[in-house]
Structure formats: structure tokens, C-alpha cells
Amino acid sequence: MKRTYDKYISWKGFQEYFPKEYRINEENKPKETYWEWNDYSVHLDRYIPKVDNKKFKIILIHGGGGNGRLLSPMGVALCARGYELIAPDLPGFGLTKIRKANSYYTWIDLLNNLINMELKSSNKDVILCGVSLGGMLAYQVACINNNVKALIVTSLADTREKRVQLQLSKSKIIGTYSASILKKLGTTADNIKIPIKITTKMWAMANDKSFVKKLLKDRVGSGSWVYIKFFRTLLEASPEIEPEDFSQCPLLFIQPEKDYIIPWHISKPFYDKLACKKEVVILENCGHIPLEEPGINQLKEATIKFIEHLEKKEYV
């Protein structure tokens, strides 16, 4: 029997922190489905609007310590404006069932295949919306899949760089030595699992301490245990196209003003190199996971404005 969020209710404890119009209720809750892909049974939250006449479909991409359901505020708000959205639980998080140790490359391949599958069942163009590590992930998928028509991201953390590794890590020791240690270990430790909260600054996932406290207890989110294979490959992954050569599609960068995990100065060097059409919006008063007003409203409005420009082909 496949698990559903109706029975796995930890996500409900986060809803009170979102403004009311961003919360899941009986009328707007996503449809839960599973997609059998390779060694994984992938859980998908599908937000289907009552009037489905938009040109674009949006895939919401979480990062480390999250899951698809944690991105429900975006799903609820944009679905109410008529957009169809899909939020997968990437292997290692959420309700997706794993039959084999996954790598970071698994995430890239999964999203690439999900896009292609969705295009077979719909004539809608695809936009990728990546939050946290999901931002760079969205970029890497766009490098290999020409069907991605636009990117919306909250970070572009190039984990190959030591300064980024230091910023993301829970301690200076982990940031300094983890990449070299994992490289020396090679594949020998790939099947070992460790709690993600011992590796990175999970205390800064949001700026509300009570929200973070609940998040760290969530066994399908920040309380998850993740394969060392995932961390090893995350720190070595290079995009197929370096930013200075990337002109595949436009990009909207949405930076939470008070993000203490991936602040603007971490993403800016990569963003500045991008050859595509791009713009930045700062979310006032928001932390790494945008909960606060007015920033969460700025997130919604900037996203809708960006997509409307795409619909009018103003980025061509």
C-alpha cells in the first residue's frame, strides 16, 4: 500500500505558518499520484486548476531537507490563478520509495524524464521552479532538456566551489574536509545513510524557530536520512553548460532577503555569468523558506508577472 500525505500528517503542522490564501484545504488540496521510474516509486503532488487553459505547466523542485509538500504555498497560490503544477518528492525525501541508493544525478535524470513524460500527456510548455538546492538542480536539468522554457529559482549554489561548501555546511570542519574525504572514499561508503541535519545549517531553513523545530522532527523532510552517495555526487556535479554559455531560456531569480543558508552573495557570481535573459527580485522579510509577508506575496506576484511575459513572448 502506497503512503499518502492524508495519513502522513506532519506537513499539516507547517500550514499555520503560511498566510491563509497559501494553505491547503479540502477544496484545493493536491491530487496524489505515484510514478514508477527505474528503482523508485516517485510520489507526485498534482495541483490541477478548475479552469485549465494556461499555456505553461510548472514543476516545483525542493532542495535538501524538504519535500514536494513543503512547496504547497506556491502550488496553492499559482493553481488558484489557473496554473497546473507538479511537486515531486525527490529520492531520499518525502514519500518516494527507494529501492536503490540514489545520487544527485538520480535527481537530474528523474526530472529530465518527468518533463518528457508530462509532454507526452499535455501540450503545455514546462517551467521549472527550484527552491534552495532545487535552484541549481533546475538549472542543470534545463542544460540537458530543451523542453524547459523558463527557470524560476531562489538560489544558484555551485556546490563545486569551496566557498559554497563552507556556506552550506553545518560546521567549518565539514565544509573544509567533506569534499576531499568523500572523493577519497569513492564508492565504498555510498550505501551508508546519515541524517541530513548533521551536515548543513538546518537551523536556518526558516527564520521562525518554532517552524524549524517542527521541520527537524519531520522524518520525510529535514529529519530524513540520506545516502552518502547523494552527498558525494552533489559536491562534484558539474552542469552540462557553464553559465557564460547558457542562453537556453530566461531566468527569474527570487532571493529571500534574510536567507542565512544561501544568501545573495553565494548565488551572485554564478548568476552574473549567465548569458540568458534574467532578472532578480528580493523578497522582503523572508528567510530561506519564504513564509513571511510581504515577501511571500512578492514571490507570487513576481512569478505570475514573469509567466505572463512568457505567454506574451516578451522574452523572445
Domain at 17-160+239-311: CATH code:
3.40.50.1820
pLDDT at 252 over 60: yes
Confidence of residue 176 (pLDDT cuts 50, 70, 90): confident
Confidence of residue 313 (pLDDT cuts 50, 70, 90): confident
- The secondary structure element, H or E, covering residue 148 is strand 148-153
Confidence of residue 49 (pLDDT cuts 50, 70, 90): very high
Mean pLDDT of the chain: 95
pLDDT of residue 1: 74
Supply 117's cell numbers.
513524460
pLDDT at 315 over 90: no
DSSP-derived secondary structure letter, 64: T
Residues 6+ apart with CB under 8 A from 312: none
Amino acid, single-letter form, for residue 79: C
Asked whether the beta carbons of 259 and 267 are under 8 A apart, the reply is: no
Pick from 151, 152, 156: nearest CA to 248: 151
Single pTM value for the model: 0.96
C-alpha dihedral sign at 262, 237, 143, 70 = negative
pLDDT at 316 over 60: no
Q: Give the 3-state secondary structure of residue 99.
A: coil
pLDDT of residue 256: 97
- Check residues 144 and 180 and name the one with the higher pLDDT: 144
Per-residue pLDDT tens digits for 192-218: 999 999 999 888 999 999 999 999 999
Q: What is the Rg, in whole angstroms, of the alpha carbon atoms belonging to the chain?
A: 18
Residue with the three cell numbers 508577472: 305
Asked whether the beta carbons of 109 and 115 are under 8 A apart, the reply is: no
pLDDT of residue 36: 97
Per-residue pLDDT tens digits for 80-136: 999 999 999 999 999 999 999 999 999 999 999 999 999 998 889 999 999 999 999
pLDDT at 177 over 80: no
Question: Which sequence spans correspond to the domains of the chain?
Answer: 17-160+239-311
Concatenated DSSP letters of the chain: ----TTT-GGGHHHHTTS-GGGS--TTTPPEEEEEEETTEEEEEEEE--SS---SEEEEEE--TT--GGGGHHHHHHHHHTT-EEEEE--TTSTT-EESS---HHHHHHHHHHHHHHHHHH---EEEEEE-THHHHHHHHHHHH-TTEEEEEES----TTSHHHHHHHBSSHHHHHHHHHHHHHHTTTTTT-EEEGGGTB-GGGS-S-HHHHHHHHT-TTTTT-EEEHHHHHHHTT---SS-GGG--SS-EEEEEETT-SSS-HHHHHHHHHH--S-EEEEEETT--SS--STTHHHHHHHHHHHHHHHHHTTTT-
Pick from 100, 112, 102, 117: nearest CA to 35: 117
